[in-house]
Copies of this chain bind each other. A is one copy, B any other.
Amino acid sequence: MKVTVIVRLKPAILDPQGKTIQHSLEQMGFSEVKDVRIGKIIELNVEGEDEPTVRARAEEFSHKLLANPLMESFEIAVDGR
């Protein structure tokens, strides 16, 4: 099954990379861009019989490896849902 994990910085955490991109865009003439946040999208192919098991395993490995729970939150989709 296709698993997609989106990892975002929590809202209270500053995003210097996003700020840099916003600043570059402004200098390039895209001054209508007011806020930029950068996250990760991790796309995995996961073997498994049923969606609830695959989702539960994905929750587990996302928490343990893909996201830093202190600074990041994550969101999981299995086969697009």
Chain A positions near chain B (C-beta within 8 angstroms): 6, 8, 18, 21-22, 24-25, 28, 30, 32-48, 54, 57, 60-61, 64-66
With a cutoff of 8 Å between Cβ atoms, the chain B residues found around residue A35 in the complex are 44-45
**Copies per assembly:** 2
With a cutoff of 8 Å between Cβ atoms, the chain B residues found around residue A25 in the complex are 61, 65
Best-buried of A8, A24, A33 by chain B (most CB within 10 Å): A33
A65 contacts B33, C-beta separation under 8 Å: no
Tell me whether A47 and B32 are in contact in the complex, defined as CB-CB below 8 angstroms, given that A40-B40, A41-B39 are known contacts. yes
B34 contacts A45, C-beta separation under 8 Å: yes
Q: Which residue of B lies closest to A35 (CB)?
A: B45
